[in-house]
Amino acid sequence: MTFNGYGVWAIYRFEMARALRTIWQSIVTPVITTALYFVVFGGAIGSRMQEVGGVPYGAFIVPGLIMLSLFTQSIFNASFGIYFPKFTGTIYEILSAPVSSLEIVLAYVGAAATKSAVLGLIILATASFFVPLQILHPFWMMAFLILISVTFSLFGFIIGVWADGFEQLQMIPMLIVTPLTFLGGAFYSIDMLPEGWRTVTLFNPIVYLISGFRWAFYGQGDVSIGVSLTATLGFFALCLAIVMWMFKTGYRLKN
């Protein structure tokens, strides 16, 4: 046996079953939250806002909103997926099974990424009921959607392994990712900022992710698509390297 396909499938299915069991929490809640954003920012406030680069404000914020959900849901799903067995002790079985660390990551991250990618598409469909949408580069839209789901699921997996308690699970998404997303141009173009702040914003990695995704929709972004893609792949590689190191050293998984 060189690849434990049954093992990967077992974990993947287990994780997907958990989502289906808690379908309300997994799918319905984020959809309602996003719909509220459209009502408030798109409908109520958006009607008083200027178009951004020829795109109505309501439509402009769609990529940013999807990104916000992808970030938070990927991190939540993956971190919870690996943290919970650690918390209950059922991790013993995973650690004693003939699955390699790569297979474990593949299964947990794959399931978390699948869930958030599906959720992203559901939010996209929801948005199309509220605002006129256009997707200039569907291939790149899907590519960014999947790449970012996978990357943030990896990131979530790291948090889940690292976390010692439920507070820590919440801490990074709430204290770092959500603020960076709000400041990363989810709801505005960074061109709207004064010169000095624009430079500061360029240190926020989230800017590159949102910009790339928005480019796939409207053909325009705050930074060039090449830079966006490089930044996204860079973050992906970084997360992957950390995960591999964790398994190699048994960090917080094995004594």
Partner 1 sequence: MPAIAPVIAIEGLTKTYKSGHQALKRVDLNINKGEIFALLGPNGAGKTTLISIVCGIVTPTTGVITADGHDIQTDFRAARTKIGLVPQELTTDAFETVMATVTFSRGLFGKAPNPAFIEQLLKDLTLWDKRDAKLRTLSGGMKRRVMIAKALSHEPDILFLDEPSAGVDVELRRDMWVMVRRLRERGVTIILTTHYIEEAEEMADRVGVILKGELILVEEKTALMKKLGKKTLTLNLTEPLTAIPAELSDWGLTLKTDGGELEYSFDANADDTGVPSLIRRLETLNIGFKDLNTRQSSLEDIFVSLVHTNGTAA
Q: What part of residues 81-110 is at the interface with partner 1 (CB under 8 A)? A: 88-90, 92-100
Site string for partner 1, 45-84 (x = CB under 8 A): ----------------------------------------
Specify the DSSP element, H or E, that contains 74.
helix 57-88
Contact 127, 34 (CB under 8 A): yes
102 vs 171, beta carbon nearer partner 1: 102
Q: Taking the complex as a whole, how short is the minimal distance between the CB of residue 190 and partner 1, in angstroms?
A: 44
Whether the CB-CB separation of 185 and 220 falls below 8 Å is answered with no
We find the least distance from the C-beta atom of residue 54 to partner 1, in angstroms, to be 50
Alpha carbons 214 and 228: distance in angstroms, whole number: 10
Which residue number, 89 or 196, has a Cβ lying nearer to partner 1?
A: 89
Q: Which is nearer to partner 1, 67 or 94 (CB)?
A: 94
- Is residue 124 a contact partner of residue 66, using CB atoms and an 8 Å limit? yes
Number of residues that bind partner 1 (CB under 8 A): 28
Which single residue is written with the structure tokens 């190699």? 248
Nearer to partner 1, 50 or 88 (CB): 88
Amino acid (one-letter) located at 152: F
Rounded to 5°, the CA angle 240-141-125 comes to 115
Nearest to 119 by CA among 90, 153, 84, 160: 153
Residue 4 in contact with partner 1, rule: CB under 8 A: yes
- Chain CA centroid to CA 240, Å: 15
Least Å from the CB of residue 6 to partner 1: 4
By the rule CB under 8 A, 17 interacts with partner 1? yes
Binding residues for partner 1, rule: CB under 8 A, are: 1, 4-7, 9-11, 13-14, 17-18, 21, 88-90, 92-100, 250, 254-255
